[in-house]
Chain A
């Protein structure tokens, strides 16, 4: 009988029209962040020499779907953005940005080791990503997307981040040139 009382209550909750407009989904926004990061990074010249495009590579399961592939043909630093899905960290030659998907959590250390010293910007939303040696870690705080930066890791990747990006970071760890 109590069940019958509660069921309508739940239905009302479910059916109630949202008071606000539907917000973007998490990965829709994270895809835009990825594009923006590509706009605020300086790569060594030789890294960009291999192709005309800024290549964003997703390692592991693609959580973005159309939200990321929809960014293809947009511009970053006067170059077209392209999205790739390499099978493993060894196949990321030519990538300027590598997003490490949460499905790769247990392989994270091996992936970062493989990419260490190469001119790629590593981005992920895996917990503890920057602590583990990643460049930019996306974090969700109070339903907003923020990011942490490991400056030591960024400089060992031979990259430079714009001052604006550093200023907006939630947390900066590591020392430049470390």
Chain B
């Protein structure tokens, strides 16, 4: 708002000008002081930063995350085109990119500051255990499509990189306190210090306490989330060319759910997560380029109440080297070593393991050359990753990317990649009761998915065509993709077993194999626009389909169809950020997700939900925000849990009042 007569005059001067080029003339005559007082229509530099990137990448900034009101990473991801986010329960999520949505979406790699949070146990991410301090997230980078040549195996459909803020950016104290409409309080505290020599330290702790969803009948789903996380980050002087970072954290999270164990009935199972990690990274410049070395150790444990438990220990070492630009070439190479030990225990027959402990050693190496074919116009990127482990065959994952910029504001790219997804410990060694089915005229029998140690990797051939344009007031992006998968995991009839879990009937065994093949194809559309200084709009829209090839094996085809039908064929999110005044913010978000065809009865209908957030800033130090998730109180369910079957959980309107003080 113009606050001074002089500003009003300036505004009038600018308003009276016919075109933008003309406005420059007027601006030219202003002094530096006056220039510094002019308000501009600022746009995010995200698209610009990505203008030389031949990949479908979306970056969520800290401001994007704050204004979305997201309290967890999956909530923030709803703003990203191509990312399918379905909330199963209070803390349970199914998040995927380009199909194969699942509670453990096996083809999506997720990393926090370069540390993988993808569990080798279930080939997926326990989102409920990822109770991060959202204020300390600097950005979330989402790469759709294979990122394997740079990020390694399991980055088949995409990579999500969560990057936390440097300690120097969080000097001082912060306290956040919130309470929801059901009286659940949460607290987070953070303290940042500058130490001697420019080193900065941050320590933080938070508690999580989220209300449960409800069942179809309207009673509690008993899946309330409680937990805590505490951690630190120590950064060397940001001004030094040679930088290091040490960070670490420890967490606990209790995430109960009522499992439907078929013959054994409903079972209230608290999933108890705990974990800790320490990570150290050094980045330095030499005349031979830019290098970084990262090492971490990570411990993650999940206990499934009285059913089972699993512990994963990881040690990882990663080195990357970016060579100075040499003519038209820019080379990057790196090597990585990872050791993981997995140990499991089962206490009931619904989950069993044919091997109690395993050690995985992985060696990987990658190289990438970015070649300028025509300066400022045509760029070719060739890359490949080689990965070998002490089980299975080595994987070679190449990528070719071509980028054409007809102008400095337009980017057109195409890429082809091959990527692989290694079978998880669970897939190779776990037996699971996956359901009960009647086979008339025979009585209902338990379906048991049996382990198969000889499973090979799934692989994909991906093709992508994208266009990105930077506008004066925003940016637009359109991406078309087609991914052809082979050796997909599926289950065929594997015989009968006596005695069964249900007395007097044999169990029906399902044998896992690599006989599936499928295609996903679709389009992703993203746009950002500053309509005025006070109104910014964001749009993400995705259409997609996923089809398996028919194999002729009825059980396999049926299972494959179920996997495919867990994906919506379109979804949309529209976000409006409104600055009501210097102190007041209003954020609206509309999200629409198409129906899921093949979910168990009663199925998942298409739904449209509106979220709102009102923020009031008392001063630079204190702010209060009221967030309303599901403003119109639509009762809906987004997904039914796979892997661990449970009844549908329904969500209602939720209110959350949050106060934040920095001092």
Contacts and interface: CB of A to CB of B under 8 A. Distances in A.
Interface of A: 2-3, 6, 10, 13-14, 18, 20-29, 31-33, 35-36, 40, 60-63, 65-67, 70-71, 74, 85, 87-90, 101-103, 105-107, 109-110, 113, 125, 128, 131, 133, 140, 142-146, 164-165, 168, 173
B542 interface: no
A2 B35 contact: no
B90 interface: no
Given A61-B376, A67-B21, 15 more contacts: A3-B592, A14-B535, A23-B39, A28-B472, A29-B35, A32-B35, A65-B409, A101-B48, A103-B48, A107-B330, A109-B285, A110-B289, A143-B39, A144-B37, A145-B36
Contacts of A61: 48, 51-52, 376, 405, 408-409, 470
Nearest to A101: B48
B111 interface: no
A27 B30 CA distance: 16
A10 B473 CA distance: 19
A28 B22 CA distance: 11
B132 to A, nearest CB: 21
A63 B41 CA distance: 14
Nearest to A164: B32
B393 interface: no
Contacts, number: 167
Classify chain B's interface size: 35 or more
B408 to A, nearest CB: 4
Contact of A125 (B45, B241, B588, B608): B45
Contacts of B592: 3
Interface string B551-588: 00000000000000000000000101010000000001
B241 A109 contact: yes
B48 A102 contact: yes
B24 A6 contact: no
Interface string B34-71: 01111111110100111110000000000000000000
Contacts of B290: 109-110
B45 A29 contact: no
Nearest to B23: A24
B238 A128 contact: yes
A169 to B, nearest CB: 10
A79 to B, nearest CB: 16
A146 B20 CA distance: 21
Interface in B528-563: 531-533, 535, 537
8 contacts: A21-B11, A29-B27, A36-B32, A67-B21, A85-B376, A110-B289, A140-B40, A168-B36
Contacts of A164: 32
A71 B27 CA distance: 11
Contacts of A109: 241, 285, 290
Counting chain A CB atoms within 10 Å of each CB, the highest count among B20, B33, B43 belongs to B20
B21 A70 contact: yes
A12 to B, nearest CB: 11
Given A26-B40, A131-B239, A140-B40, A13 B576 contact: yes
A132 B51 CA distance: 22
Interface of B: 1-2, 11-12, 14-15, 20-21, 23-24, 27-28, 30, 32-33, 35-43, 45, 48-52, 238-239, 241, 285, 289-290, 322, 324-325, 330, 372, 375-376, 405, 408-409, 470, 472-473, 531-533, 535, 537, 574, 576, 578, 588, 590, 592, 608, 610, 632, 634
B14 A23 contact: yes
B251 to A, nearest CB: 29
B21 A27 contact: no
Nearest to B472: A25
A176 to B, nearest CB: 16
A145 B40 contact: yes
Contacts of A70: 21, 24
Nearest to B375: A87
A168 to B, nearest CB: 5
A80 to B, nearest CB: 14
Contact of A144 (B23, B38, B238, B574): B38
B43 A67 contact: no
A165 B32 contact: yes
Contact of B14 (A24, A74, A128): A24
| 9 closest cross-chain pairs (CB), A and B | A21-B15, A87-B375, A62-B408, A2-B632, A102-B48, A102-B45, A143-B39, A25-B472, A61-B51
Nearest to A27: B472
B35 A14 contact: no
A25 B43 contact: yes
Nearest to A40: B32
A25 B473 contact: yes
Contact of B20 (A25, A88, A110, A133): A25
Nearest to A39: B32
A107 B14 contact: no
A13 B535 contact: yes
A145 B24 contact: no
A106 B11 CA distance: 37
